[in-house]
Structure 1
Amino acid sequence: MSGYRCTAVTEAQAGVQVLAESIALPLYAIEWASDEVLQCLIEDIPHDHHAAFLRTGARQDSDVFLRWTDGSSEQDLADLTCCLAYPDPMGSACTIYAGHPGKCEWAYIDPPYVAATARADQILKELGMPQAPGRQSGR
């Protein structure tokens, strides 16, 4: 595990999972998180609020994040545009929590060109176009 990623984990509660399944379908296939235990995607700086990718969102440019807070059993969902869709995915602000001082994990793990390439591949996939030869898509 990278030292840049928060180590907080959780499992989606049954009611939250049902709610996530009821969110409108996007224009392309839904991608769900591959693990039952979801790990926070926010930078490993002191924070009580956590978030993990749960599924693709209701819009082409959104994802559904499961959010939770330390010391509480409450969970909620946010269907929002993640920072990878913005012109500067390596920016200083997290888009999952407004005003959160941290960045998402990909701001540290992937070099900027990897993040940009992943976003370009995602757009090509959404448009039904093949990705550039020799590249593998990443999230």
Structure 2
Amino acid sequence: MYRCIAQAVLSDEVRSAAAEISSPVARIEWASGVTLQCKLEDVPHDHHAAFLRTGASLEPCTDVYLCWFDGTATQWLEDIEVCLKRKGTSTDTGCTIFRDHPGRCDWAYIDPPRLAVEAQADQLERDVRALFQGGAPWSPNA
């Protein structure tokens, strides 16, 4: 599956503008760092968007995204209802970051290597638990 690798360095003026956006919650969550990676995926694209901070609305729940186009230094902010928080059915998977985005967004991505490592860790945990709960005695030759 295609994962966008586009990154943007957040400008001080855009960060200041984002800090001025009101929020209905007391604690605003911000992206860590100043280099942000695009969250759009599935097919190559030139319009990019990266999570910057929690948004200005609880109904619908929004987040503020840093947006940019390939080949330009221009950055702008969008306070939008994101796909993950969209109300509706489980088949309601269209992108809400911008109307013509043909794919899904980062939170819909299943990372196979990570899932494989988690599955191995889960199996190891089950094996260790069985060993210490009266399971078959462990042998290095087993």
TM-score scaled by length of structure 1: 0.70
Kept in 2, the 8 Å contact 1:92–1:101? The answer is no
**Larger strand share, 1 or 2:** 2
Number of aligned residue pairs: give it.
Answer: 108
Task: Give aligned-pair identity as a percent.
Answer: 50
* CA-based RMSD: 1.8
Structure 1 stretches lacking a partner, 5+ long: 111-139
Residue 103 to residue 26, structure 1, CA distance change in 2 (3 Å): same
Structure 2 stretches lacking a partner, 5+ long: 112-142
Amino acid corresponding to residue 49 of structure 1 in structure 2:
H
Residue 32 (structure 2) aligned to one of 20, 24, 34: 34
Match of 2:85 in 1: 85
SS at match of 2:72: coil
Kept in 2, the 8 Å contact 1:93–1:103? The answer is yes
SS at match of 1:76: strand
Match of 1:116 in 2: none
Deviations along 1:9-33, one digit per CA (max 9) or x if unpaired, are 1111111111000001222410000
Deviations along 1:83-118, one digit per CA (max 9) or x if unpaired, are 1112346644211111211210111227xxxxxxxx
TM-score scaled by length of structure 2: 0.69
| Partners of 2:92 and 2:110 in 1: CA distance | 14
Bigger radius of gyration among the two: 2
Divergent runs of 4+, >4 A: 88-92
Kept in 1, the 8 Å contact 2:2–2:44? The answer is no
The correspondence of residues 55-134 of structure 1 with structure 2, limited to 5 A, is 55-60=53-58, 61-86=61-86, 87-88=88-89, 91-109=92-110
